[in-house]
Structure 1
Amino acid sequence: MLQIALTSILVDDQDKAEAFYTDVLGFRKKQDFPAGGARWLTVVTMGVENGTELLLEPMGYDFAHTYQKALFDAGLPCATFASEDVQAEYDRLKALGVVFRGEPTRMEGMPTIAVFEDTCGNLIQMFETP
């Protein structure tokens, strides 16, 4: 059976992305080495060393900028992260200066969600796990 081992997110600046995803969101850097003119830079959930890696991928092609901007302008998150307590995570991140697109919300039959900007050109959604 296939497993998701690595996924990527386009970022406009790898150094800025590394700082945001580690220092603010609390992920741990797993891999960081030169790759072409950029870096192979991945993060993982703290305490889940062999979990899915998130590649903070530089935008090396013009179409990547167009794609990222189109998602952002349409208000579409490019990734979704889970939290056991969205309200608590919202409060923690808001206190660190993270920009949210609104208060945490819950729709009928759906978990509580909140959407924030990652400072690297993306919208990220978080949802509450039971």
Structure 2
Amino acid sequence: MPETPVPAPTPPLQMLPSRPLRWLLQALAWLCLALGIAGVFIPGMPTTVFILLAGWAAARSSERMHRMLWQHRLFGPMLRDWAAGGRVSRRAKWSAAATMALGAVLVCWAPVPSWVRWFSLTSMACVLAWLWRRPEP
């Protein structure tokens, strides 16, 4: 498979106001990447949103990390689809729906206050409604 060209980071790294901001954005990128990887294994925890945030922060702080994410076997297609018009694959939609359903079952069985239960279920329903309205690649 040919290597996908990596778009130039925007804004150009030279336009960032300071080195501390770049370090902060790079730390955010690594944190989001770690959370996205954790989301692959933890039911109910999102993956896509953290990978998209990692890609955004990396594009503004580290050309090397940006390139690594863009060309990654698992995360690259997610970033490329999003960059091509906010597209989300059907597989990602079904995966999100399944993990949110599992999370909903767990929150319904857990001994939590009713407001926590309703807030969680309402949030998941809103995210799923938004997600399924996204175009597919």
Q: TM-score, normalised by structure 1?
A: 0.31
More strand by share: 1
Q: TM-score, normalised by structure 2?
A: 0.30
More helix by share: 2
Larger radius of gyration: 2
